[in-house]
Each structure stands twice: as structure tokens, then as C-alpha cells.
Structure 1
Amino acid sequence: MLPILYQDAHLVAIDKPAGLLVHRTGLDAGETRFALQLLRDQLGRPVWPVHRLDKGTSGVLLFALDAGTAGLLGRAFAGDGASQGPGEGDSAAQTGPAKTYLAMVRGWPAEAGLIDHPLARLAEDARAGPRATLVQPARTHWRTLARHELPLPYGAFPRTRCALVELRPETGRRHQLRRHLKHIAHPIIGDASYGKGALNRAVAGWLGWQRLWLHAARLELAHPHTGQPLHIVAPPGPEWRRWPPA
């Protein structure tokens, strides 16, 4: 059964495991299990996903329990998020859902920063249509939480440096976090599309666990019907404890 983090008459949030697709897609036609169908069967009623997580990403995933609520949340998530950090803008503008992720990345980034790097729509995004090459603004705040050094040679270095970072996207572009971290030369460990295959395999072998090390840890939003703030949290799974102490 899927772990339920929050549920009321209109919403349900689950802790999606890594490796599970949100819904059926032609990009991964061989898959037979999907969060949407599993949750529908678990609850015995229709559900509507209102945002998405990549297959490899774990953590908070929100569904609506009726079409009206799905429409309200769909409009909220369709915006650029307005999820600015403290002191980074007028509080009245912070109306959209705010997402916080954890990621393990290659190298040792600085203490904190902002990635302000526009991203082109990906051609594989079926919804992009003829606008697949349109470049859109994209912004991600990040800060380093811990640094690790693994006894694995990498390139000319005798050991491999990795870091746990917190990510707070202001916008919601496809693969934004993965592409932004590649852009600053700190790709997410386990990322087959934007990372380094040899390093991913070496780290997976050393840890004894293979996955995309990206986790949706927190979702904050106003309830679409009451306006009350919701703070939905998914702690990282036990596999995150495989990393050595910082």
C-alpha cells in the first residue's frame, strides 16, 4: 500500500517511492504499476494527480479527490510557484505551492545560491507540441546541508566528493532540478540522463543501493477550499542513511 501523508474530503497526499511512475506514459511503455492506479484501488475511488514527480524521485505527491478540486489545484500548480525564500520578495506574492527537495550531488557546492538559468521545453514533453523549443525562465534556490567524501577514485582524484543539498524551485519546468544542477556542474547522483554513468555505477556499488538521489521532502500550499495552510512532509527513506556521516 502507498503511504498516505495527508487526507481530507478533497485531497490526499502520498509518499511516492522512487521508481514508481505517477501515471501511464508512452515514454515508459513497459511499466505496469502507476501511483494513480494504485492509489485509486487503495482508496476505492477516482483520484486526480495535480502535479508530477519524475519516476526516480521519491516523496510528497498530491492528488485531488474530485474534479473541481483538481481544477483549482491545477491552476495553482500551473503558475511559477511564487515560492520565494524568506526575505526574497513581498509576502503577498507567495501564493503558490512551495516545494522543498533534498538531493545528493557530485562535488562540494558553495554554502548557498540561486540558479537563474532559462530552460528550453523538452521535445519529449507531449504537451509542448510545436512550442517544444520555447525557452522559459527557471529559478532554483539551493543550500548545502552536508558534505561527504567517499573512498572511490573519480577522475584524477583519489576520493569522490558528494554533498546533500536542499532545493527550492521557484518555477516548475520539466526536469528543472536535474538540469539546473547539471548546469552548475553538480549533477544529482544516480541521474542517468544528466549525470555521469561511471560515477553513478561506482556510488551505487559502494552504497549497495541504486536510485536517483532526489526526494520531494515538503509541500506547502493553501487549501483550495478553506485557504488554510497545509504543510505536508515526507521524511527521506531509510536508504538515505546508507550515506556516511558528514
Structure 2
Amino acid sequence: MTLEILFQDEHLVAVNKPAGLLVHRTHLAKEEEDAVVQRLRDQTGKWVFPVHRLDRGTSGVLVMAFSPDAARQLSAQFAESKTQKIYHCLVRGFCAESGVIDYPLAKLNEQKGRSRFKIEGTEKEAETHFTLKAHYQLPIPVSRYDSMRLSWIEVVPKQGRKHQIRRHFKHLLNPLVGDSCYGCRHINKVAKEIWPEDFRLMLHASSLQFKHPITEQQLVLKAPLHEKITNILDTLAPYKI
């Protein structure tokens, strides 16, 4: 499957990563498992070097470099929070109009076994800003509640801690729809019944702003929502309140 390229020059390439695709193979992935790095190498005919990552279930803007030097310089911008990332997500419940989740997060390490991630080390600063875009209320029972309440949110994480958005909204008691690790099993069960073909982690990296590591041009790259997300939002539209 060909990846949708959002930007490409001799130094960088950016794609709209589909959900369900690894950025690169890990020691826990099967050798034959598909990944963005391998697809882009075949698609562009060049070696590519990861700069940042998106979770397997997350779609949206993903940038890679064609040289180790460009990758190193751009990675530094992510590490120093000099990039601006905008995400959109669908969460359980009615969120506030806007807010800041200031909640330190410890490092997560991927591991084999029953629990995929192990918390290690001390907590580090993590801050996530959000703005409400829409509330929805569906006349469908969920657990002990007689209706299904959801919020569509724009999110700007200041840092890029592993699973930062997913962990922060769980902390806020508004877990993401379709999140198998931090989500609400009752909401996920009902959502999967309503949208069997489109059910997925409802998190999309919509926009990324950074300075080109070689030309120093300010770039703003935007990724349109994937079809499964737009299908679900179209279904929700009549229930907006």
C-alpha cells in the first residue's frame, strides 16, 4: 500500500501515517511485520531515518529524514519541545471547553508478556493543552448510564512523552475511544458494535510545525483525517449538542 506523502525534498519526507502501522520494526515485532520505514524505503528508493514516532494505532503527520545529520538536527527540535504538534481525538464523557493537563509521566518501556509496557524511572514534566470542538450524546446505554457521551477535542502536547495524550486523558477520566491500553472497556465495547468496520484508536496527528533542519524554513504540515475517523464523525453529527 502506497503511503500518502505530505512533503518531500532532498532532506526530508513526511507522510500521513495510517493507523495500525508501526513506524519501524522493534525487537518485539515480527520480522515480516509491515512498517513505515520499510514502506518509505521501497516507495522513495532511499534509506530513511526516523525522527519521531507515532503509536501504531495513531494516524497523521510523520516526518523522516534522508540522512543521519538531518535526522539528528530535527530530533533535537522534538527533544527540546521546539516543534508544535496538534492532534485531534474522541474521548469518553463531556470535557471542559478548554484546559491544561499538567501531570508528570514516568518512562514506559515496551516488554514481552501480559503487560506490554513497564513504568520505569522518575516522573518527568508533561503538559497537554486541549480545546473542545464538539460534544455528542447518543441515546445508547453504556454500562450503568442511559446514554453515550463523547467529546471531540483538539490537543496540543507540550512534550512528547510516550503515550502522553492517552495517559493524560485517562488521568482526566476521559479516556480515548478505541484505546485498548488506557481506554474504557464499556465505551470500547459499544463503539465496536456501532462502528464494526471503522473502530480504531481515535487519535490523529493533524498538524506539525517545525524549522527545516537544513534550509531553516518554517514548515507547517497538515494531514487530513483518515476515512475511518470521518465515517465515525459523520455518524455522530446528528447527536451534536
TM-score between the two structures when normalised by the length of structure 2: 0.90
Sequence identity percentage: 43
Partner of 2:53: 52
Q: Distance in 1 between matches of 2:79 and 2:39?
A: 25
Counterpart pick for 1:166 among 154, 158, 161: 154
CA contact (8 A) 2:5 2:14 kept: yes
Alignment of 1:66-215 (within 5 A): 66-79=67-80, 81=81, 96-124=82-110, 132-208=120-196, 209-215=198-204
- Secondary structure of the residue aligned to 2:121 is coil
> Higher mean Cα deviation, 223-232 or 53-62?
223-232
Q: Distance in 2 between matches of 1:197 and 1:177?
A: 18
Q: Distance in 2 between matches of 1:146 and 1:71?
A: 38
Aligned CA RMSD, in angstroms, stands at 1.7
1:122 shift after superposition? 1.5
- Secondary structure of the residue aligned to 1:155 is coil
TM-score between the two structures when normalised by the length of structure 1: 0.88
Q: Distance in 2 between matches of 1:119 and 1:31?
A: 33
The reply to whether residue 218 of structure 1 matches residue 213 of structure 2 is: no
Specify which structure has the higher proportion of strand. 2
Partner of 1:90: none
Q: Distance in 1 between matches of 2:204 and 2:148?
A: 22
Partner of 1:234: 223
Q: Distance in 2 between matches of 1:62 and 1:199?
A: 32
Q: Deviations over 1:153-187 (max 9, x none)?
A: 12322111001001100011111000000000000
Output the amino acid matched with 1:12: V
Partner of 2:115: none
Q: 1:183 to 1:30 in 2, by over 3 A?
A: farther
Q: Deviations over 1:110-149 (max 9, x none)?
A: 00000000011114389xxxx9222100000001101111
Where does structure 1 differ by over 4 angstroms across 4 or more consecutive aligned residues? Answer: none
Q: Distance in 1 between matches of 2:97 and 2:36?
A: 35
| Structure 1 unmatched runs, 5+ | 82-95
Instruction: Report the count of equivalent residues.
Output: 227
Q: Distance in 2 between matches of 1:51 and 1:214?
A: 16
1:201 shift after superposition? 2.1
